[in-house]
Structures are given as C-alpha cells and as structure tokens.
Amino acid sequence: LQQRRGFRLSAPAAVQVTVRDALNQALDEELERDERVFLLGEEVAQYDGAYKISRGLWKKYGDNRVIDTPISEMGFAGIAVGAAMVWLRPVCEFMTFNFSMQAIDQVINSAAKTCYMSAGAIAVPIVFRGPNGASAGVAAQHSQCFAAWYGHCPGLKVVSPWNAEDAKGLLKSAIRDDNPVVMLENELLYGVAFEMSEQAQSKDFVVPIGKAKIERPGTHITLVAHSRPVGHCMEAASVLAKEGVECEVINLRTIRPMDIETVEASVVKTNHLVTVEGGWPQFGVGAEICARIMEGPAFNYLDAPAVRCTGADVPMPYAKILEDNCTPQVKDIIFAVKKTLNI
C-alpha cells in the first residue's frame, strides 16, 4: 500500500555476523526445530564450547540435548553413531579434526558404511564437525587439512564452509541430511565477520550440499578453493584486477559430492584453471579437480595446464615464518595465476 502511494520501502539491510555466531545460530535453530537433534563433545556444554560455538545452548536446552563428554573421541563418536542408527540426529564435535583420528574407525567403518552394508535399512544421520586445517602456532599435530582424507570415502558427505552464510546454511543442511556429514570448519575464520543477507537470517535458510558458488565472476582464469583459501583467492583476484586480469573465484563449499559441473562451466569460459587449498599436494582436493577436468569435456577448452596451489608437502612447522611459507598466501596465488597465463 505504501509503495502504491509513492513511498519507497527499503529492503532490510544485511548484517555482519561472525562465523562463530552463524554456527551458533544454526545449532540453536536446529535444536529448537527437531527434538531428535543433540550436541555432544568435549566442553560443549558448561564451558560453552572450546571455541564458544555452543555458547548458551546448554543453559537453554539442558543436559540431555547438550552433552559434555570425557576426552575419548573413540568413545563419544561411537555413542553418537549408535544414537544415529536409532534415528536420533547427533552433532558430534571434535575439538579439532586432528583428534578425529582417534575415532576414525567409528567415522569410516561405522558411520560411512552402515547404510550400504544394511542395503539401506539403517541410515546414520550424524554430523561430525569442528575446526580443520592449519591454525596458528600449533605445529604439526594440530595443523592438518582432512578434506582429502574424508572426501576419499564413499558413504560420507563432506562440506567445507568459508563465510558466515556457508557455515550456517551448510550446518543446517548437514543436520537435516539422512547421511553422515563431515563438516570441516576453520578456527581462524571463527572470529571473522561476514555480511549475512536477510534471507540467510531466516530459520528456513539452508545451503544445499553438493553445490558450489561463484563468489566473483571473471573471464580470464578460474580459481577454485574451499574454506579459508577462498578469501585469499578473493584478495588475489582484487589485486590482479588492477593489472587487467579478471579471475572467476569458485567457492567449492562441498568436497563430496563435488560440484564439478560448475567448475567445468567456468573453465569452458575462462580456458584456465588454478586450484587452491591448504592441504598437502599429493592426492589432494586440487588433484581430484584437475583429474576430473582432464577426464571431462572441459579439458578441450584449456589453453594451459591446470595448476595446483597447495600447502607444502611437509608436516607443519611451529615457527611462524616457516608456517607462513607452508600455507598458500595471496602472493602464491598471484604467482600461480601469472604462471598459468604466461604473463
């Protein structure tokens, strides 16, 4: 009515939300929406979570829905998988995914394979979530990317968010999914604020699993990344744009199932490809993308070999200067782009 009378109604403004708060919103909304959802892990309840992702949830939902566990990943992951088999919807937090190695049998042999081995009779609707990849100053045993590890395994879905909308939408989709989902977050992004649209603030907002997003359109070269390196790609693209190079930046968002169609369509347009990841090069996510492009129709459109920009092929050093040289930086992406374009 106001619009008809000539008044201009302004759309509700987007807000700045940290990745931490986006994850907290997702957990809160899904705990409220479905009484079968519960959260368990080390310090998730009374301490509000090691990274404050579950802040306020124990006070709101109580001991039966937000459960502190002993320091025993194999034990509480097994409890969570068993609960999922009887159609509860557990969200199992690993304080870091490095510690998920203690529960690898539960994740791979119990969660991932049960639906297949039961001929579909037993679903396992569980989410394994927590920080993944390099943090800062925590050395080799706390600085690994598990995207390739878990992305290798049939029976799992694997998601890797970058910004606040990714984090909220993918976690909500993961909790609602009837399959086991591994959600690889990044500790260094928890405190970073991103713009969240009005749509993303809705309780009905989800990000579909298996669908990549073009964060920045471009015509000269395709950059594909997931998690924190997406931000590095965006920075590199801004620098290169000043030199007349327009990069198309794809936020992969899901590692398995991989949205290779979006990557192929971009490569057909730009004729060049650089993949960026924090993990090790051998058998990595970038290696899989390059192989899929080579095997598919987009290969015929490449004007130069695809290039991978990855973490160094060494355990993560402790010293900061060495750590910085072991993870892809903006300058490394720019170098890879110029190498690919021969400029």
**Catalytic residues, which ones?**
73, 142
Q: Work out the number of other CB atoms within 10 angstroms of the CB of residue 219.
A: 12
CA atoms within a 13 Å half-sphere pointing along the CA-CB vector of 138? 14
Per-residue HEC secondary structure of the chain comes to: CCCCCCCCCCCCCCEEEEHHHHHHHHHHHHHHHCCCEEEEECCCCCCCCCCCCCCCHHHHHCCCCEEECCCCHHHHHHHHHHHHHCCCEEEEECCCHHHHHHHHHHHHHHHHCHHHHCCCCCCCCCEEEEECCCCCCCCHHHCCCCHHHHHCCCCCEEECCCCHHHHHHHHHHHHHCCCCEEEEECHHHCCCEEEECCHHHCCCCCCCCCCCEEEECCCCEEEEECCCHHHHHHHHHHHHHCCCCCEEEEECCEEECCCHHHHHHHHHHHCCEEEECCCCCCCCHHHHHHHHHHHCHHHHHCCCCCEEECCCCCCCCCCHHHHHHHCCCHHHHHHHHHHHHCC
Tokens at 46, concatenated: 């009374």
Beta pairing, strands 213-216 & 247-251: antiparallel
Neighbouring residues of 93: CB distance < 8 A, sequence distance ≥ 6: 39, 40, 41, 42, 44, 49, 53, 54, 129, 130
